[in-house]
Chain A
Amino acid sequence: MNELNQVVFANIDEQEPWTIDSYIASGGYEAWKNILNNKDDSHKPENIIEIIQESGLRGRGGAGFPTGLKWSFMPTADTQKYIVCNSDESEPGTCHDRDILKLNPHALIEGIAIAGYAIGATIGYNYVRGEFMDECYPPIENALKEAYQHGLLGKDINNSGIDFDLYNFIGAGAYICGEETGLLESLEGKQGKPRFKPPFPANFGLYGQPTTVNNTQTLASVPMIIKNGSKWFKTFGTEKSPGTIIFSVSGHINNPGNYELPLGVPFNKLIEYSGGILNGKKLKAVIPGGSSTKVLPAHIIKDCTMDYESLQGAGSALGTAAVVVIAEGTCMVNLLKRISRFYFAESCGQCTPCREGTGWLYRILDRITNGNGKESDLELLVDVANRIEGNTICAFGDASAWPVQSFIEHYHEEFEYMVKHKGKTKAA
């Protein structure tokens, strides 16, 4: 059985899957239309939330928070609520939302509409990453127009009494706007600086109103789950990590790209799907869930299955399922420096540990690679990272600390070697 592309990308091999005709021909918008027609009583908002809760769908944006549970946090009070789709996909290594926006935009629109209906939001915003301006914004904007033309969105849609308006919004290119409250600030026209929580968006979100923010892939998974039921969704994946997830495989791999596979797929199988390690080299390490997650050496990752529990058990996380494959011969010091450079550049600068700490981390790594490292630097790096971790307003601080902690934990001798040998790498 071909395990690939069962849920989000189920219709991806159709001709022009991004057109509304193609999407409808392959069963798209059925779930939404059922809700609009209210064929039976099984489509009340609370039922929708229940189905999603039963399905075990977890947020695909990185944190893996149960989606149905998040929806259930929305207050029932009759006030303006918002559903916001986080298409600000910026985690290094991650590129599945890009393909959804490009290839299957209607699944996303349908998912946002259903989610909006379930949580009582009549307005939705799709916050699209600024860098997607040319590549992804036109297709999603076009799809949105099509959906309106087909009478699937708007006020009192098809005389159903349901209102739902959706807007695409293009960001200005900041990693931090992928943090849900930073995103909300940016959407309100302010600097993308994360808010401190509590209050969470469900209580104080966009313009201070109850808001749910979900990731693109999460929302694009919703229509199929509503259409086929939670049991069907649970036939994929493992008991604790049901469903499929799109792995964005990159790095030293023969066929880098997006692979939608059931959760729990063995790591080796994922590598097989991706055509094996580049140039037949030996695997050295893997960053399994985007650059923020902790690196796992080959001997640990090779026995892992690709799901939330297994990777957590191995000391890392599934994150965004952006699998960065690192082959033998890669200098881990230089790689970490590159990652730290990213966090240094992307810190919003709002809170002290992250603003001051990320630059410190990067500069120490920079001097190590330039041959000016000191013996005490390795201890200092870990200590600075530890002092950032857990002390910041948002998870960015942790994301900048974890790579440093894990790289030095697993590859201490490479760092030591470079300090001793004035910038010479041990890996080559």
Chain B
Amino acid sequence: MTDNEVKITIDGVVYSVDKNKMLIEITDELGIYIPRFCYHEKLSIAANCRMCLVEVENSNNTLPACATPVSDGMVVNTQSTSSKTAQESTMEFLLINHPLDCPICDQGGECELQDLAYSYGKNNSRFDLLKQTKPNDDLGPLVSTDMTRCIMCTRCVRFGSEVAGIQELGTIGRGESSTISTFVEQTVDHELSGNIIDLCPVGALNNKPYRYTDRTWELDQIKSISPHDCVGTNIYMHVKNNKIKRIVPLQNDSINESWIADRDRFGFDGIYSSDRLDGPLIRTNGDLVKASHEDSIKLINEHISSLVNSNSQDKIAALVSPSISLNEQFLLANYLSLQGVKNIDHRIHQIDFTGDTLDPLFPHLNINLSDIQNMKTILVIGSDLRKETPLIAHWVKRAADKGSSIHFIDNSIREYHFPISDYIMTDNDSITENIGMLVKAAFSISDSSIPNHIEDNLSRLPEPTRTHKQIALSLCNNDETLLINGLLARSHPDFALIRSYINILSELSSSRIGELSHGANAVGAYITGCIPHRSQLAEPSEQGLNALQIASSNHDLLILYGLESKDCLYETNLVESIKSSKTVIAFSYFEDEVFNKYADIIIPINTTYESKGSFINLTGTLQEFNNEMMHPHDYLSNEKFLSDLINISGTSLPSFEDFLKQLIPFIQESINNPNYINELPIEITETEPLNALNEFNMYNLDPILRRSKPLQSTKESLGDN
């Protein structure tokens, strides 16, 4: 027994347990079940449901296990008459005003109240009075309410105030009239709001789009990874007849805890959109005509080999979505590189490519996401963090709640529900300058002389203000510090310079860097060589055209994979390129106006919700999923299609397994020894003044989200904020 332990007796057995824990945590660890409703390990203690009352010897009353700290010599009897009576009493009280409408309740079958009623409830009721009813609020398109079923455990309220940071739901009224409600007819709009569905132990808060569609016991559960951002959120897909019915969190404490973002939960709806493609289409005499897979493969091969044979590979270009699986990226990049095609890129949200030579091996964060909460100082640069990566915003909030100082440099004031130390709001152009000023401040704090190669550049910048100095001081003086390089920064016309500044700042202040990336698998895209400046595993390659160049020129053959022109930051350029390129091959999930008009070959592909593969998230974690059972019968798997294409082209299929063997050590090495180059971009060119991204619509990030009906009905999508 250590100093940190005490001896307690539970049901006659003596245990040495951690003295800093509540009784219920101990019994949970020991596998001794105590019933509960309001207790949730990720939320604060409320002790209001009284279901976990247990007999503790020498206490006048039974005590709630969730709120009773263990103490030396404590004797607990979880199975005694007194414990049972207290628990059965609570169950009876909970049920007297509960409608017991289990047959029409979606929660039926996975209801904590229903489950516990079997063990602690009576077969008949002594309550022969009228039951209460409670009014239902409209919480918006995602969460349905049946508040008469509510048992007032306040998990949803605590989720709001503790996790989301904004109390969208609260208790109003008192006594029997207590109810959970919003503040004057508001809807629940937080990007993590759907989690209250899982938290609700009864059927009061339910999944609105899923409402009345299926019974939970008819669903199969499949582990998967959410494809909508670089977090790699772990999810369970609940499936019936090979169709996804709903998505719930899969707890992973180093990535997403018990939470998922609303787009992880409701995004999948898009894959069942009515404009889903159902077979390959080939333009014949101006019209798109249905074709077989075999014919399409042949035709693509003909197009490519004729250009290859005439040594015109530079007339071929490919833009790839950053959200496709590693396997697809691997096959696609290999296929094109075997044909000698250099023009391939996935960075359709980036404008400034002048820093390509300074690129890290892949954009990443070299700690677990959960470690973000332990950072003492965090500086977020150019990011609408809550919308870009809701779960990273969650971890940053956790750090703020623990007292860390959080700073922002951004082109707009955005709402964060945690204390912020400094917020430099500046116009888009001045973001770069402000980071430079921070670098200047950091140089003077760290007392190191400014190296020649950046002196010129820095000397042109204004002197740092007090705020810059404060932020720099906070970064330099604390041990665990993090610079988050956001998606708005990545889309900035001066991205390369911003990143160089960040690298220098990181060196001066020994800060870690967290580079957010677009899509679910930009890391994979870098590593597989879906970039024009490096090939697989960051081997040097002959420079091809970057995404902006591809979109801004015409080609003999343009291949688009998993993306629509709307996904591209320079949409008009891309549409023009599609129009003017000789042959356009679109691998697409859905029908698309532009493709309908201008594409020559359209190949339907499976989403990652329907295929087998893997993503690498921004912390370098390779996560596999196998959703093949979900893909529509008449589709060929994407992998099979690409493999067939490679086979028919006469080149031999590269081994994915061999690649994987090299991949893991490669990621490890890059993560352990990140090489942040403190050079400035060689030539700082004046880029075309394209519209930089100011607004970030978190439900318009990819073709699937754009077609998710529930998400498209939210305030975020309707612009009614």
Contact = CB atoms under 8 A, between A and B. Distances in A.
B64 A353 contact: no
B181 to A, nearest CB: 13
Contact of A349 (B86, B94, B178): B178
B48 A391 contact: no
Contact of B48 (A351, A358, A367): A351
B89 A348 contact: no
A209 interface: no
Interface centre among B47, B48, B94, B175 (most CB of A within 10 A): B175
Contact of B175 (A198, A345, A380, A390): A345
Contacts of A351: 47-50
Contact of B93 (A174, A198, A352, A364): A352
Contacts of A346: 174-175
Contacts of B178: 348-350, 355
Contacts of A254: none
Contact of A391 (B50, B67, B126, B173): B50
Interface string A124-136: 0000000000000
Interface string B194-209: 0000000000000000
Contacts of A347: 174-176
B231 to A, nearest CB: 33
A393 B176 contact: no
Contacts of B129: 360, 363-364, 367
A344 B60 CA distance: 25
Nearest to B171: A191
Interface in B131-154: 151-152
A87 B51 CA distance: 33
A360 B85 CA distance: 18
A49 B384 CA distance: 56
A376 B178 CA distance: 29
A391 B175 contact: no
Contacts of B174: 174, 176, 191, 346-349
B92 A387 contact: yes
A387 B152 contact: no
Interface in B53-85: 53, 60-62, 64, 67, 69, 85
A357 interface: yes
A359 interface: yes
A232 interface: no
B685 interface: no
Contact of B86 (A174, A356, A360, A391): A391
B90 A391 contact: yes
B89 A359 contact: no
B127 A352 contact: no
Contact of B90 (A344, A353, A359, A367): A353
Interface string B160-191: 00000000000101111110000000000000
A198 B50 contact: no
Contacts of A358: 175-176
A176 B178 CA distance: 14
B556 to A, nearest CB: 69
A353 B151 CA distance: 11
Nearest to A344: B175
Interface in B83-139: 85-86, 89-90, 92-94, 96-97, 126-127, 129
Contacts of A176: 174
B69 A198 contact: yes
B90 A352 contact: yes
Contacts of B175: 344-349, 355, 358-359
Nearest to B94: A352
A218 B250 CA distance: 55
Interface in A330-370: 344-353, 355-360, 363-364, 367
Contacts of A393: 47-48, 50
Contact of B94 (A350, A356, A390): A356
Given A196-B64, A349-B152, A356 B45 contact: no
A360 to B, nearest CB: 6
A6 interface: no
Contacts of B51: 352
Interface string B301-340: 0000000000000000000000000000000000000000
Interface residues of B, number: 34
Nearest to A191: B171
A166 to B, nearest CB: 29
Contacts of B93: 352-353, 355-357, 360, 387
Contacts of B47: 196, 351, 393
Interface string A180-203: 000000000001000010100000
B173 A349 contact: yes
A166 B104 CA distance: 57
Contacts of B127: 360
A392 interface: yes
A351 B38 CA distance: 10
A196 B97 contact: no
A401 to B, nearest CB: 12
A352 B98 CA distance: 12
A344 B174 CA distance: 10
Contacts of A380: 126
A355 B171 CA distance: 13
Contact of B61 (A348, A355, A359, A390): A390
A120 B108 CA distance: 55
B61 A391 contact: yes
Contacts of B64: 196
A353 B176 contact: no
A393 B52 CA distance: 12
A359 B62 contact: no
A391 B86 CA distance: 7
Given A347-B174, A380-B126, A387-B92, A352 B61 contact: no
B151 A352 contact: yes
A193 to B, nearest CB: 8
A198 B67 CA distance: 8
A196 B69 CA distance: 12
Interface centre among A359, A363, A367, A392 (most CB of B within 10 A): A359
A314 B69 CA distance: 35
Given A380-B126, A392-B50, A355 B152 contact: yes
B89 A353 contact: yes
A390 B93 CA distance: 14
B53 A391 contact: yes
A358 B176 CA distance: 9
Contacts of B126: 380
A121 to B, nearest CB: 26
Contacts of B69: 198
Given A349-B152, A349-B177, A355-B176, A196 B50 contact: no
Contacts of B171: 191, 349
Interface centre among A346, A352, A358 (most CB of B within 10 A): A352
A352 B97 contact: no
Interface in A369-411: 380, 387, 390-393
A346 to B, nearest CB: 7
Contacts of A198: 69
Given A191-B171, A392-B50, A196 B45 contact: yes
Interface of A: 174, 176, 191, 196, 198, 344-353, 355-360, 363-364, 367, 380, 387, 390-393
Given A174-B174, A350-B152, 19 more contacts: A196-B64, A345-B175, A347-B176, A348-B178, A349-B174, A349-B177, A350-B178, A352-B151, A352-B152, A353-B89, A358-B175, A358-B176, A360-B96, A360-B129, A387-B93, A391-B61, A391-B62, A391-B86, A393-B48
Interface of B: 45, 47-51, 53, 60-62, 64, 67, 69, 85-86, 89-90, 92-94, 96-97, 126-127, 129, 151-152, 171, 173-178
| Nearest 10 Cβ contacts at the A-B interface | A349-B178, A387-B89, A390-B61, A356-B93, A347-B175, A196-B47, A349-B175, A351-B48, A359-B176, A349-B174
7 contacts: A196-B45, A350-B152, A351-B47, A353-B90, A355-B152, A363-B129, A391-B62
